[in-house]
Structure 1
Amino acid sequence: MEKIVIISGASLGIIAIVLGAFGAHAFKKILPEDKMASFEVGVRYQMYAALYLLIIGGLLDFDSVWENWAYYGVFYGAILFSGSIYLLSFKEYWKAERVRFLGPITPLGGLFMIIGWLALLISFLQS
């Protein structure tokens, strides 16, 4: 499990760096300032999740349900949170009004990340 967590963290980190670079250069030319700011929030939280996963991948054994939830909550939360922000940032540029359903996905992703952090805290308190 540790290997999966570290691979997940490294993958999220790589994607965050690539998207951040595109955001700083190519996307700034096509996205309005408010959408660019949202996009950058998605990149930032994705990188936070990547670093979190790399750290817990090296520290935890994942032999408890709480340690597993510490991974699943933050990993899937980052995908839902950041992914929905990325897509919503491009909604007007792509003229894709149908992605409006993604609005409620963003806070759901945030909730998953909170659950992951809470699970990490519980796992430390129980050990």
Structure 2
Amino acid sequence: MNKQIVVTGALLGVLAVITGAFGAHALKAVLTQSQLEVWHTAVQYHFYHVFALLFLSTFGRFKNNVIFTGYWLFTLGIVLFSGSLYLLACRDVLGWSWLHWLGPVTPVGGLLFISGWITLAVAAVRHR
């Protein structure tokens, strides 16, 4: 088990629970239904990829570059995909209308997720 991946996954998991609860309770009164759906999508993908990180940790230490690469792809994917959606959902409430430029960042995070899953498959094939 890779301790660094587990710790990162655990901390990102805590953040996913907090953002999920925050969206369900505090933001429900201030966001539109459409914005809440964006927030919910961010939380869902955030959680899915925390689980992917935790599964990746079962392949052991950073024995090879594939595990290390998968770790970073999933982690940065969470930051870019979910992070951009969190901010986009709240931009009106924050008064940050200039955040519209984050729209193209979200698919980059999605590509990182896809690449992370590919590296996870490669790590599984190479695992003894």
- Cα distance in 2 for partners of 1:60, 1:101 equals 38
Segments of 4+ in structure 1 off by > 6 A? none
Superposition deviation, residue 62 in structure 1:
2.1
Unaligned runs of at least 5 residues, structure 2: none
| SS of match in other structure, 2:31 | coil
Tell me which residue corresponds to 1:39. 39
Superposition deviation, residue 97 in structure 1:
1.6
Tell me which residue corresponds to 1:25. 25
Superposition deviation, residue 125 in structure 1:
2.3
Alignment of 1:1-127 (within 5 A): 2-127=2-127
Superposition deviation, residue 102 in structure 1:
0.7
- Cα distance in 2 for partners of 1:126, 1:54 equals 18
- Give the letter for the 2:109 counterpart: G
Calculate percent identity across the aligned residue pairs. Answer: 35
| SS of match in other structure, 1:29 | coil
Unaligned runs of at least 5 residues, structure 1: none
- Cα distance in 2 for partners of 1:104, 1:2 equals 32
- Give the letter for the 1:121 counterpart: A
- Cα distance in 2 for partners of 1:2, 1:71 equals 10
Say which is worse superposed, 28-37 or 91-100, in terms of deviation.
91-100
- Give the letter for the 1:103 counterpart: G
- Cα separation, partners in 2 of 1:109 and 1:50, compared to 1, 3 Å: same
1:12-50 deviations in Å (ceiling 9; x for gaps):
110110111111111000000000001011011111111
- Cα distance in 1 for partners of 2:9, 2:57 equals 8
- Cα distance in 2 for partners of 1:25, 1:95 equals 20
Normalising by structure 2, report the TM-score.
0.92
Say which is worse superposed, 50-59 or 20-29, in terms of deviation.
50-59
- Cα distance in 1 for partners of 2:55, 2:123 equals 15
- Give the letter for the 1:43 counterpart: V
Q: CA RMSD in A?
A: 1.4
